Amino acid sequence: MQVFDKKIAIQAYIEQLKKSGNTVGFVPTMGALHKGHISLIEAAKKECDIVVSSIFVNPTQFNDKNDYTRYPRTVDNDLRMLELAGCSIVFTPTEQEMYPEKDIRFFDLAGLDTRMEGAHRPGHFNGVAQIVTKLFETVLPDKAFFGEKDFQQLAIIKHITKQANLPIQIIGCPTLRETDGLAMSSRNTLLTQQERALAPKIYQVLTQLKKDINTFTLQELCARALQELSAEPLFSPEYLEVVDSETLLPVFSKEKNKRVVVCTAVKLGNVRLIDNIIL
């Protein structure tokens, strides 16, 4: 496995591989890797000759400075996991490398960034769009793999790729969960023992909502789910919304042939967890 921290070096290396006819799959990450990340590497390996991953804790997508400072950083272990998983190339740039002076970008995200995470994390998706476009320009992959765990992020990345006419196929991959249902996340390691024991309730509530789909209206289902979450004193739910999986606009009535997803964010102490379920 080759590790690069300079854009120019990784670009030249990948260019050679592409010239010899290899297809490139890309899995961007912020490190602190878990099996969810590795499942994206596996998906990329199945579809592409070469798998490139990146590890970069992107400062511009953190609206909360404390969250950025506390974000777990485990690069040595990450590199071991990537090598074991069969990743061929890893990009570990510095902040200076990704954000040289004056290279700050602003995106029109067509309203996809106004609700849910966007409403609660001002500037977050512009930060995501900045880093993803910069990484895409560096790696020039044929396919890029993202988790459905970050559902709104996935929709926004599909949008910017289409807007900019980038020849990159964006592939969404299912959420990997712990055995108790908690969505795997780098932030799970920041939970106290007590918070960790309660955290699976988020997915339990989403699963119950899905089970009750034919019994209640969507408004009733959301109200019941929010009530369940709020009943736990350590939970502070930020939102729970039923949205169209492509437009991310709220859905008020059940319609056949419409792919609909329920997204939620819950604060547990200092840790903010997100999850979703496709109905």
CB of 67 to ligand AMP, least distance (A): 12
**Region near ligand AMP per CB under 6 A, out of 70-78, 107-115, 171-179, 249-257:** 171-179
Q: How far apart are CA 128 and CA 110, in angstroms?
A: 15
Dist. CA 219–CA 51, nearest whole Å: 43
Total residues at the site for ligand AMP (CB under 6 A)? 17
Q: Quick one: 199 or 222, whose CB is closer to ligand AMP? A: 199
Dihedral sign (CA 153, 159, 165, 168): positive
List the interface residues with ligand AMP, window 29-48 (CB under 6 A).
29-30, 36-37, 39-40
Return the closest-CA partner of residue 200 out of 215, 185, 219, 212.
Answer: 185
**Any residues with CB less than 8 A from the CB of 67 and at least 6 apart, and which?**
272
Q: How many residues does the chain have?
A: 279
- Options 37, 120, 124, 159, the catalytic residue: 37
**Site map (CB under 6 A) of ligand AMP, residues 149-168, x = contact:** xx------------------
CB atoms within 10 A of CB 6: 13
Nearest residue to 137 via CA among 54, 59, 79: 54
* Phi, psi for residue 51 in degrees, rounded to 5: -110, 125
Q: Which is nearer to ligand AMP, 37 or 222 (CB)?
A: 37
37 catalytic, yes or no?
A: yes
Q: How distant, in Å, are the alpha carbons of 71, 74, 79, 111, 189 from that of 32?
A: 9, 5, 10, 30, 9
Looking only at residues 127 through 146 of this chain, which bind ligand AMP when binding is defined by CB under 6 A?
Answer: 146
Per-residue contact string for residues 175-204; x = within reach of ligand AMP by CB under 6 A: xx------xxxx------------------
| Residue 87 binding ligand AMP, by CB under 6 A | no
From residue 242 to residue 271, what is the string marking binding to ligand AMP with x (rule CB under 6 A)?
------------------------------
**Positions marked catalytic:** 37
Q: Which residues here bind ligand AMP, judged by CB under 6 A?
A: 29-30, 36-37, 39-40, 146-147, 149-150, 173, 175-176, 183-186
